[in-house]
Amino acid sequence: MSSVVVKSISKKGRRDICSVEFDNGEKFDFAIDLVAKYKLSKGKKLDTNLLTDILKEQRIIEAKNIALNFVSYKQRTKFEVEQKLKQKHYTESEIQKAIEFLEDFGYLDDKKFAKDYLQFALKQKKYSLLRIKNNLFQKGLSKDVIDEVLRDLQVDSQEFENAMNLALKKFQQLVRMNKDNPVQKVAQYLYSKGFSWEMINKVVEELPGNEEYDN
């Protein structure tokens, strides 16, 4: 069985990384934890199978660190983390271990992401539920998770308020401009914003001149 011998070990900058050089000229960066775990020191002999295992562990550590940094400054979904690591050419197994690491420590939670985004998008951005659903789908959330969050939060009243505020603002603008069929135009405007026809019908019933509206 072939083997290599540690020629030198040096710490790299302020990071918890050591540069390990072997007698065959190869040099690798290892986490200090791995150096301690395998008792790597100058003159230590390793068989190449063990070195391969250490390199695999180092890859997983690096994937975890990249994933942790990715979620540290902005809330992410599992899908977004997976895509980030795929761009870095990590394997499915390495990605899965990084995902499990984030989930175990509470850094990754798709249901919490959906709840937080839904509340923000409804109350701050004033989006329609359809637009919110589409955005969550694009972020890789499953239909089951989205539907569960919608049931839990009971958001119909907030969506109605958003639609009504948009409708009144648009209606007043159209009236000032002396536009024909302002209620009909408001309905079309709300539809372009992603509101369902069911919600649009509820809103236009509250507008003055709604008798002109043909749904």
Buried b (16+ CB within 10 A) or exposed e, 122-137: beeebbbbeebbebbe
Q: Is the pLDDT of residue 37 over 90?
A: yes
Mean pLDDT, residues 160-180: 83
Residue 156 corresponds to which amino acid? D
User: Whose CA is closest to 67, among 27, 16, 107, 29?
Assistant: 107
pTM of the model: 0.77
* Tokens encoding 111: 């249901």
Report the CATH number of the 3-104 domain.
1.10.10.10
Q: Is the pLDDT of residue 210 over 60?
A: no
pLDDT digits (tens, 9 = 90+) for 86-115: 999 999 999 999 999 999 999 999 999 999
Q: Alpha carbon of 145 to those of 25, 74, 128, 141, 150: distances in Å?
A: 51, 20, 18, 7, 9
Q: Is the pLDDT of residue 214 over 70?
A: no
How high is the mean pLDDT of the chain? 89
Burial class (CB in 10 A: 0-12, 13-18, 19+), 1: exposed
* Residue 136 to residue 27: CA distance in whole angstroms: 44
* Residue 204 to residue 45: CA distance in whole angstroms: 79
Mean pLDDT, residues 45-49: 93
* Residue 114 to residue 143: CA distance in whole angstroms: 11
- Three-state secondary structure of the chain: CCEEEEEEEEECCCCCEEEEEECCCCEEEEEHHHHHHCCCCCCCEEEHHHHHHHHHHHHHHHHHHHHHHHHHCCCCCHHHHHHHHHHCCCCHHHHHHHHHHHHHCCCCCHHHHHHHHHHHHHHCCCCCHHHHHHHHHHCCCCHHHHHHHHHHHCCHHHHHHHHHHHHHHHHHHHHHCCCCCHHHHHHHHHHHCCCCHHHHHHHHCCCCCHHHCCC
Radius of gyration of the chain (CA): 28
